Structure 1
Amino acid sequence: MRPVTKRILFLSFFYPPDLSAGSFRSAALVKALRSQGGDRVHLDVVTTRPNRYNTFKREADSSEQHDGLHIRRIVLPKNKGGLLGQAWSFLYFAIVAFRFARARKYDAVFATSSRLMTAVLGAFIAACKGVQLYLDIRDIFVETLAGVFNATVWRPVVWLFSMLERWVIRRATIVNLVSPGFLPYFQSRYPDGRFSLFPNGVDADFIEPLGCTDKGRVKGEPLRVLYAGNIGDGQGLHLILPALAEQLRGRVRFQVIGDGRHFSSLRDALSLRQLDNVELLAPVPRQQIKLFYEQADVLFLHLNDLQAFKRVLPSKLFEYAASGKPIWAGVSGFSTDFISKEVANAAVFPSCDVACAIEAFEAVHLASVDRRQFVERYGRERIMGEMAREIMAMAGST
């Protein structure tokens, strides 16, 4: 007898070839679900055409069909950016996604979300269809919103999102939290919730360690410090990097690869100080980023000094750690404890603290180290395999 095919709706605002931690995570999970489910599972992935960065555009088909997999990429309307532009883009995505799902039958809904609204969309569709919901929460959006927009005028907005969060979490069958640091927040508010802890992990493209490149550097030449990733509120680069570059002028040359909400703030702050030791580069494909890692002497990481980010475990940390390169990290809270226990040769300083950052930099050991045990423990393929089994078990129980 042919096994019954379980149909799963998979919602992810970002998906390859777009650049984001959520995009790469989603692709790895889809691969794991297809591998485990075989002909017992059909996935409808609803996402967007690449849109995260204006400086990184890649073409992708609006519809892809494979055995047991349909990828529907929604083309978002052009907007001028900003909060209103982002809100309109998501609303458009939500409307088209709902229309896509409305006429189709599903046994379960999966949604991965950082800004909560993809989770809200998943919960709404799951409720309309009367099926189980699996949520993958990559950020505590309510706490982030309250920290970034802390003026009185924003309190009604924070309250509204708090109500949405409550409804979404209570509606979900299983909620995965990408950082164990999120657990106290959610357990204290939703003691009856079922929570899993599957982190981002190390992507298969980055499991091989990189060599140290000090042999290629002329003696006395500035050290090459690389940051690669988003430039937004969460990273707070504009609050720390200009001062570091100024104090380390002549000793360090920073390379920043990325884009985001505070790119212009960072650029303007560097210009104001007339700094010539920071190079700003547009996002590059993943295949190219490894070349920049290889050429770097130190990999730089930073989180803004807000309460919400004290619970975060940055996805970039796994990629950095797998490289074997020295890491210079400005973090607080859970990330500090995680790095101290799990990541060798990482110099840590409190977020946004320039004096401590300089002190930590002096302690950086300029040599690659063996972190193979870390890679084995946090390999994304294994983590997504375990997560896929949990999703399949949930879908199979309907």
Structure 2
Amino acid sequence: MRILFLTYYFEPDLCAGSFRNTSLFKALIKSKSVDTTIDVITTFPNRYDSFDANAKAREVYEEGVVVHRVQLPKHGSGLKGQIIAFKYFYNQARQLVRDREYDLVYASSSRLFTAFLGSKIARKNKATLYLDIRDIFRESVVEIFNSKALKFGLNLFLRPIEKYTFSRANHINLVSKGFQTYFKKYNQASFTYYTNGIDQIFIDQFEATIPVVNHVHKKTLIYAGNMGEGQGLDKIIPQAASKLPEYTFILIGDGGTKVKLREEIQRLGLINVELRDPVTRKQLIELYQEAGFLFLHLNDYKAFERVLPSKLFEYATFNKPIVAGVGGYAAQFIKEELPDTLLFKPTDSVELVNLLKNFNGLITDKSSFISKFNRASINQLMSMSIIKAHEE
């Protein structure tokens, strides 16, 4: 069997898409038969402009398993820059597969167009198409704009692309069960719900940590990840920090709204908020271990009521209280799986401040959660489902 593995993000990039797909790729290598070949088409690290890492344009993992990386042109994190970058990736990927044939195409997509590319190639090859969907792009991107004309135009443009993409899929994996109602119309496909999971590097640090059930926590909140419209950090951090001068807020990462966040911090004259560039996972673990609280937030958009932040899974491996501003399915998941989380409504700084001031210091044991969402176990099952999709 000849497999094409499409992912916009891959190691050594620093983002959820990279961690998920690199780990799945390695599980797929273990699950494949000896006569199966795998071509990965991805990009050089590009998630954050401020992060750079060494990578090869062509990397042979083993015989018949090759990773091809496309060097994207320099681009900003805004919508226009991302469109230019993806168009380049799309054209280069089509060139790379032009003279090759595949039996199965796997595509992992948060921004629709990697899935669209997979659908295009699968149609050309009459191949099985397996889509891994990490976000509902059309719903998310339309909601972030205020202009009704722009919303209408984007909907008009994206709807047929979305239909073309998903109506060709033989199998669709959804990382969040919150997506289920949106995709049920594509009933020609079979579905699975393999979530994001916890990587071994985080499990190792959990097992090496002495459990702490009740103690006085440092008044330090750490967030690490993207700083974009989806996270809405500019709507919550400055407002909460101005009411909590005794707390330090450390925000690590990069993204389209980092400038807006910095401007708001400066406008309010805050000295208890630190903005830092992205760091490696090893450095990140050390920072998490020193933190008092681990923070995540999604903007107050209806589209984000369906998502399940991958950040929750790594946060759960630390004996630290998690502070989460989410709604919808993510809030439901947290109540069921991580009930000691300090949960508040997105952008509600008053509720956040009250939660921190009234925190009782209790943390529950998360061993069962970590066992349940071990990424290695999840990816073993998912890799088998990819192979099975072609056999059906």
Tell me if TM exceeds 0.5: yes
365 and 226 in structure 1: CA distance in 2 versus 1, 3 angstrom threshold: farther
Q: Is 1:73 matched with 2:56?
A: no
Give 1:367 shift. 5.2
Q: CA deviation at 1:212?
A: 7.3
CA contact (8 A) 1:326 1:365 kept: no
Shift of 1:166: 1.2
Report deviation, 1:142.
0.9
For residue 178 of structure 1, the aligned residue among 155, 175, 178 is 175
Is 1:308 matched up with 2:303? Answer: yes
Where in structure 2 are the equivalents of 1:45-64 lying within 5 Å? 45-64=40-59
- Aligned partner of 2:147 in structure 1 is 151
Aligned to 1:12: 7
Higher alpha-carbon deviation: 257-266 or 59-68: 59-68
Give the deviation of 1:363 after TM superposition: 4.1
* Paired residues of 1:222 and 1:253 also in contact (CA < 8 A): no
1:105 aligns with 2:132: no
1:335 pairs with 2:333: no
Taking only the aligned residue pairs, the percentage that are identical comes to 40
Q: Following the alignment from structure 2 to structure 1, what is the Cα–Cα distance between the partners of residues 46 and 14? A: 9
Offset of residue 260 of structure 1: 0.6
Q: Out of 226, 229, 243, which is 2:225 matched to? A: 229
Work out whether residues 326 and 364 of structure 1, in 8 Å CA contact, stay in contact via their aligned partners in 2. no
Aligned to 1:324: 319
Structure 2 contact 110–135 (Cα < 8 Å) conserved:
yes
Taking the aligned partners of 1:248 and 1:211, their CA distance within structure 2 comes to: 29
Q: Secondary structure at the match of 2:226?
A: coil
CA-to-aligned-CA distance 1:215-236 (integer Å, 9 cap, x gap): 9x9x9x9611111111111110
Q: Please say if residues 346 and 364 of structure 1, whose CA atoms lie closer than 8 Å, have aligned partners that are also in contact.
A: no
Deviations 1:50-107, CA, capped at 9 Å, x for gaps: 1111111112011101223100001111235532221111011011101111111211
Corresponding residue to 1:238 among 231, 234, 256: 234
Change (3 A) 1:308 1:80: closer
Instruction: Please say if residues 221 and 250 of structure 2, whose CA atoms lie closer than 8 Å, have aligned partners that are also in contact.
Output: yes
Q: Secondary structure of 1:386's match? A: helix
Q: Does 1:283 align with 2:278?
A: yes
Task: Give, in whole Å, the separation in 2 of the partners of 1:81 and 1:198.
Answer: 28
SS across alignment from 1:40: coil
Instruction: For 1:157, give the aligned amino acid.
Output: L
Name the amino acid aligned to 1:177.
L
User: 5+ unaligned residues in a row in structure 1: which ranges?
Assistant: 1-5
Q: Give 1:1-398 correspondences, 5 Å limit.
A: 6-67=1-62, 68-154=64-150, 155-187=152-184, 189-208=185-204, 209=206, 210-211=209-210, 223-250=219-246, 252-366=247-361, 368-397=363-392
Q: What is the aligned-residue RMSD (CA, Å)?
A: 1.9
Report the number of matched residues: 387
Instruction: Mark the CA change 1:352 to 1:301 in structure 2 (over 3 Å): closer, same or farther.
Output: same
Q: Distance in 2 between matches of 1:161 and 1:167?
A: 10
| 2:27–2:380 CA contact under 8 A, matched in 1 | yes
In structure 1, distance between residues paired with 2:74 and 2:188: 42
Whole-angstrom distance in 2 between the partners of 1:170 and 1:396: 19
TM superposition score normalised by structure 1: 0.93
Question: Counterpart amino acid of 1:292?
Answer: L
User: What SS does the corresponding residue of 1:207 show, helix, strand or coil?
Assistant: helix
Q: Which residue identity does 1:140 align to in structure 2?
A: I
Shift of 1:164: 1.0
CA distance in 1, matches of 2:331, 2:76: 37
Give the distance between the partners of 1:383 and 1:114, measured in 2 at CA: 19
Q: 1:8 to 1:101 in 2, by over 3 A?
A: same
For residues 234-292 of structure 1, what are the alpha-carbon distances to aligned partners after superposition, in whole Å with 9 as ceiling and x for unaligned?
11001110000000112x11111111111111111101000000111100011111000
1:345/1:364 contact within 8 Å kept = no
User: Aligned partners of 1:254 and 1:214: how far apart in 2?
Assistant: 23
Taking structure 2 as the reference length, the TM-score comes to 0.94
Alpha-carbon distance change, 127 to 363 in structure 1, aligned in 2, over 3 angstroms: farther
Q: Are 1:244 and 1:354, in contact at CA under 8 Å, matched by a contact in 2?
A: yes
Aligned-partner SS, 1:290? helix
**Contact conserved, 1:211 with 1:368, CA < 8 A, in 2?**
no
CA distance in 1, matches of 2:78, 2:345: 29
5+ residue gaps, structure 2, are: none
Quote the Cα distance in structure 2 between the aligned partners of 1:7 and 1:37.
10
Contact 2:218 2:292 in 1 (8 A): no
